[in-house]
Structure 1
């Protein structure tokens, strides 16, 4: 039986999934984008931190449907899970063994953003994740990180809905062209992050992983000095900056320079076991 940490030692440990916990290119990753491979040593470390009383919070851009199977795979039962880049925060139902309820859902009308984007990216593919968890899409988006419940619709049916997340993918554009087109749009009243491919994630204004984690930290009564966060993508920048302000944040070694600059420190790549190294540096119990 592992000894529990005392309240003054308890940390909030916020972990991105894809590229941080999940390796999609290493041995055992397979072809399913939903799964990826988790290093056994890393999985054991995360479970040890959880079982000793630290609050491990998965903070991902994935939908709820694509997030909870990874929580199961880690064999942890965290109290809080953050999905959709902070737009959906789940809380474990104490009356059910593994059930989670949507505790906080941020939603917005994506009409203005979608119409602006379409003027610059006419051949893009669009998906809108609804506040209730379903998804409407114009053309198939090749990813396993979206909900299972999907419905193909004309572009016009994406307008005027309540969305927690908008995804725009433009395979016809080179990444540099895509970024230039997005930056020229002057999007306001939304939060957005551009991925490493021609992929755009849009959330309600002011909603990020950091904003959701701020709420969770407040609910738990955990001081900002006892926050640890790790990530590798542009959608992690706000989270890494937030955690680095008073606590500890770590960018993965394969992250883009702007992501690394947002973090307090940089660890090894996911292939090098960078997250496990960073966790061992921070938490002596893992040594």
Structure 2
């Protein structure tokens, strides 16, 4: 294994980007510095592949791998693909049981699935701007037509607490799930998360677990943060994260609007 090269995996929304989609100058500068120093700087996000790659381009990084869909899809560099990347590892599941269970306990919920092609198929009206890439509206019954990398459920009429209570009542056991922002549920293949995907990437690179740095701010980052900390690396949590996310990491950064990520990255030697 290498002795000094770092694997630096960054969440996007709330960590790199603000709510308006802007990247702080200080974050750009630190990422440029670390790439120039030879560290592997990559993205690990809940976004679909289609919504992830444009952020990579904006950052000006060319990592060997990109983790999207909360770990269910890992892209690898591919010169033959117009985007420069194609799917290397894809984890899918049959969403039928989860769809039926949740539809039975959640009133007025909206459902979407992400396929292996990175396209969302959705039923019901979602918040404006939810799907930055192409989304296709289909009848509810067609959501389970093929295996998917992710099932998304949004219930805007409920609080997080009410939402979680209903989700627990659904009896979901065969899939992994995490709650994102208000009443938003991401359901992934069983045992699949950002941490499991990044462990595969780490092994591919031959980087020591102690040379891992991850940063995130959401509940879908918990497993990634725990994974990094357990290996002796840095699980960096943005200061504005929920308490349960803060508890999962071992390094607490400043909040987004005080350049929390950039200051944490600045501690990595070039």
Fold shared, TM-score > 0.5 on shorter chain: yes
Q: 1:50/1:123 Cα in 2 relative to 1: closer, same or farther (>3 Å)? A: same
Corresponding residue of 2:261: 275
Corresponding residue of 1:15: 10
Q: Equivalent of 1:266, from 241, 252, 256?
A: 252
Contact kept? 1:241, 1:262, Cα under 8 Å: yes
Q: 1:248/1:143 Cα in 2 relative to 1: closer, same or farther (>3 Å)? A: farther
Q: Equivalent of 2:34, from 49, 53, 59?
A: 49
Q: How far apart are 1:144 and its partner, in Å?
A: 4.0
Helix, strand or coil at the partner of 1:8:
coil
Counterparts of 2:79 and 2:141, CA distance in 1: 41
Q: Equivalent of 1:239, from 224, 229, 240?
A: 224
Helix, strand or coil at the partner of 1:82:
strand
Contact kept? 1:86, 1:211, Cα under 8 Å: yes
Corresponding residue of 1:195: 180
Q: CA offsets, 1:46-74, max 9 Å, x none?
A: 12212221111200000111111111111
Counterparts of 1:98 and 1:114, CA distance in 2: 32
Q: CA offsets, 1:161-214, max 9 Å, x none?
A: 210011100111122211211122221121111013110001101110000001
Gaps (5+ residues) in structure 1?
A: 1-5, 30-35
Counterparts of 1:206 and 1:154, CA distance in 2: 28
Higher relative contact order (CA 8 A, sep 6+): 2
Counterparts of 2:255 and 2:247, CA distance in 1: 15
Q: Equivalent of 2:191, from 195, 198, 206?
A: 206
Q: 1:244/1:143 Cα in 2 relative to 1: closer, same or farther (>3 Å)? A: farther
Q: How far apart are 1:149 and its partner, in Å?
A: 3.0
Q: CA offsets, 1:115-155, max 9 Å, x none?
A: 11111113100001111222211123225463633221111
Corresponding residue of 1:3: none
Task: Indicate yes or no: 2:38 matched with 1:85.
Answer: no
Q: Aligned residues, how many? A: 269
TM-score, with structure 2 as normaliser: 0.95
Contact kept? 2:158, 2:183, Cα under 8 Å: yes
Q: How far apart are 1:23 and its partner, in Å?
A: 1.2
The answer to which of 186-195 and 234-243 deviates more is 186-195
Contact kept? 1:66, 1:145, Cα under 8 Å: no
The answer to which of 48-57 and 83-92 deviates more is 48-57
Corresponding residue of 1:33: none
Corresponding residue of 2:95: 110
Counterparts of 1:140 and 1:192, CA distance in 2: 22
Displaced runs of 4 or more, over 6 A: none
Corresponding residue of 1:154: 139
Helix, strand or coil at the partner of 2:257:
coil
Corresponding residue of 2:85: 100
Q: 1:168/1:60 Cα in 2 relative to 1: closer, same or farther (>3 Å)? A: same
Task: Indicate yes or no: 2:171 matched with 1:186.
Answer: yes
The alignment's C-alpha RMSD in Å is: 1.7
